[in-house]
Amino acid sequence: MITGVNSGIGHYFASTLARRGYRVIGTCRSPERLDPGLLALPGFIAIGMSLDSDESINQAFHQVREHCDDSGLYALINNAGIVSAGPLSHIGMEEVRHQFQVNVMAPLRLVQCCFELLRRQAPQSRIINISSISGLFASPFIGAYVGSKFALEGLSDSLRRELALVGIRVVLIEPGSIRSPIWRKQLGIGQLFSTSPYAAFIASADERIEDMERQSRSPEYLLPSILHALESPSPRARYLVHPKKWLIRLMVNYLPTTFVDRLVERNLRSSQQAIRPF
């Protein structure tokens, strides 16, 4: 089962796995608007599911259970997610709540819903949570997103240690920038925060989003990691998927925080400002 299959990473994996012979249950808000190519794949089942509240997840989950019947579920891929950009001192609290609902509360609720189905396929079954390098490194001006992915990382670590006792694996995928509509949905944030004290730093956010899109890799770049996470009898706890893994590990684990803070500030004050410095 994969959430958020109508675009980006979710669409790529739902179609790739269905073509490889997997039976894929793909969820999205509007199945009637799904790519007909994906809908036509044998083994693909679309289910309408909004992640906006536990009630909407619970309601849609009945259909998932019917499709899984007695055989249970082999894997739950919590992929759907959103980015709410903006300075933490000024972003609307409703926006932050929604960010955490979709990226944190909904994946956890789905784990609870799918628990018994996953148990039927233990000790092979697994949960794959799509995190981000933003779950490891806290960039400014996407703090709500960063907070949600750090939370997902912590939940996944606790879950992995709990679910090991019942034979369900828990894996984190931590991608860098991947080509998808996710960042484009934030175009216009410069305008939105133009009266904030950070206006000068955010003004060129649209250009930076476009640069990031140009430099990002296709979802195919994640394929070896997702396949390993999905098919290996011993999947790793986390897969950091970035061409400069070493740089992220250095910044996160080895360099002093004050030094990294200064690097980020210098980056923001220079002409090469970036929403994410990688």
Find out whether 100 and 148 touch, Cβ atoms under 8 Å: yes
Among 84, 99, 139, 177, binds ligand NAP (CB under 6 A): 177
Per residue in 79-110, is it b (16+ CB within 10 Å) or e — as a string? bbbbbbbbbeeebeeeebebbbbbbbbbbbbb
CA torsion sign, 66 to 68 to 73 to 79? negative
d(CA 164, CA 178): 30
Contact 26, 38 (CB under 8 A): yes
Q: Does residue 145 carry a catalytic annotation?
A: yes
Q: Which of 2, 110, 130, 209 binds ligand NAP (CB under 6 A)?
A: 130
Beta bridge partners of 221: none
Kindly tell me which residue out of 34, 102, 104, 117 binds ligand NAP, with binding defined by CB under 6 A: 102
Annotated active-site residue in 145, 198, 239, 254? 145
Q: Does residue number 81 form part of the binding site for ligand NAP (CB under 6 A)?
A: yes
Q: What are phi and psi of 40, to 5 degrees?
A: -80, -10
Nearest to 87 by CA among 200, 11, 166, 6: 200
Q: Number of residues interacting with ligand NAP: please give it, by CB under 6 A.
A: 25
Determine, following the binding rule CB under 6 A, whether residue 181 of this chain makes contact with ligand NAP.
Answer: yes
- Out of 1, 10, 68, 150, the residue judged to bind ligand NAP by CB under 6 A: 10
- Cβ proximity to ligand NAP, 95 vs 265, nearer residue: 95
Q: Which of residues 248-277 bind ligand NAP (CB under 6 A)?
A: none
Binding mask 211-230 for ligand NAP (x = CB under 6 A): -----x--------------
**Is residue 68 part of the contact set for ligand NAP (CB under 6 A)?**
no
Letters for 147-176 (x = contact with ligand NAP by CB under 6 A, - = none) are ----------------------------x-
Q: Closest separation between CB of residue 241 and ligand NAP, Å?
A: 9
Looking at the DSSP bridge assignments, the partners of residue 44 are 24
CA distance 141 to 201: 9
Interface positions with ligand NAP (CB under 6 A): 4, 6-10, 28-29, 50-52, 79-82, 102, 130, 132, 175, 177-178, 180-182, 216
Which residues are known catalytic residues?
Answer: 145
